[in-house]
Amino acid sequence: MSEAESVDVAICVPAPGDADDFTAAVRAGMDLHKTWVDPPDTAERFAAYLTRTAREDHVAYLIRHTECGELVGFVNINNIVRGAFRSGYLGYGAFASHAGRGLMSYGLRAVIDAAFGEHGLHRLKANIQPDNAPSLALVRRLGFHREGFSPRYLFVDGDWRDHERWAILAENWPHRRMDV
């Protein structure tokens, strides 16, 4: 299991034993995610999530608060293309119990370190709905740059939603570790 520690959070690869914590956190924060993401809210959906994220073209992490051990959020790197492209799409969400405390910034920073370090990626992309102010603020804080706008880009919560396209390159990662 891969772990990286930050100020108040630790990241780890999700496992079957995380199902109860994860699905309970999702159900407790349904209003937080409704039109932006649809994380697994049942044991069956969590098992399917683990199967999908175990594929070679996906990586998943849970973010836990180091003091209380509770889940802060999750981050997925989806549709990873290796070879000359070395790129992937970020998907993430905070859980209501720890939202608004800045902990997702630390967790996502640790995942991006892993993406550019141990996973050898060169480019990470995040597609974000224009009205998702917390997510837009998060990627701006971490140094992502807006690359464009895609109308009716993804089907989320029963409708085609517009998305802004944001990206960061390994050489522009401001928190890049020198040993990578």
Domains of the chain: which residue ranges?
A: 3-172
At residue 33 the predicted structure's pLDDT band, cuts being 50, 70 and 90, is low
Q: What is the pLDDT of residues 70-94, one digit of tens each?
A: 999 999 999 999 999 999 999 999 9
What are the tokens at 3?
Answer: 């772990």
What are the tokens at 151?
Answer: 């109308």
What are the tokens at 112?
Answer: 């991006």
Residue 32 has pLDDT above 80, yes or no: no
Residue 41 has pLDDT above 50, yes or no: yes
The pTM for the full model equals 0.89
At residue 122 the predicted structure's pLDDT band, cuts being 50, 70 and 90, is very high
DSSP state of 52: H
| β-bridge partners, 81 | 87
CA-only gyration radius of the chain, Å: 15
Q: Which CATH class is domain 3-172?
A: alpha beta
* Residue 53 near residue 39, CB atoms below 8 Å: no
